[in-house]
């Protein structure tokens, strides 16, 4: 089971991991409705290093990005679910629209995003300038939180 970190504690822990020579991987997202695509991406990301940090958007951040009906699951519950995943070593929250500031403070060895974000990876410049890598991982076909929410609404007659 992973550990939840407030930002200052995560930054301090990252310094310790760096001193120990541990390879740190970082990814982020809303992870509003956890699905197999999320699990597989997290497992792939974790396989790239020794520690996987998952930064989750706060509820306010999700609302700004996805609209007033989201998130479906609170940041506390999303954090608890993420911490229960074997692949996830550390969870933190960020309230900004992108995790750029957090990434710049943590400076992971590898920054991971799903291939759907190839047009923009927040923190890319900072990670690469520090000698790190950015990896875009393929998505699991057929899985998308937005599509799952829309399908649930359609099935229950709440859509359109």
Domains parsed from the chain with CATH numbers: 3-155 (3.40.50.620)
pLDDT digits (tens, 9 = 90+) for 90-125: 999 999 999 999 999 999 999 999 888 778 999 999
Global pTM reads 0.90
Q: Is the pLDDT of residue 82 over 60?
A: yes
Q: Are 54 and 28 in contact (CB under 8 A)?
A: yes
Rounded-to-integer distance, Cα 95 and Cα 154, Å: 31
């Amino acid at each position: 089971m992973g550990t939840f970190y407030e930002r200052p504690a995560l930054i301090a822990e990252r310094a310790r991991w760096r001193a120990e020579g541990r390879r740190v991987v970082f990814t982020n997202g809303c992870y509003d409705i956890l699905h197999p695509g999320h699990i597989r991406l997290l497992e792939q990301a974790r396989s790239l290093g020794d520690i996987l940090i998952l930064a989750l958007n706060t509820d306010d951040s999700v609302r700004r990005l996805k609209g007033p009906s989201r998130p479906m699951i609170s940041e506390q519950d999303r954090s608890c679910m993420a911490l229960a995943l074997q692949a996830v070593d550390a969870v933190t929250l960020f309230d900004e629209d992108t995790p750029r500031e957090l990434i710049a403070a943590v400076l992971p060895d590898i920054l991971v995003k799903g291939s759907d974000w190839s047009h923009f990876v927040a923190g890319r410049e900072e990670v690469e300038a520090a000698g790190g890598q950015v990896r875009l991982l393929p998505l699991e076909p057929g899985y998308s939180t937005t599509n799952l929410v829309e399908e649930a609404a359609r099935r229950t007659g709440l859509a359109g």
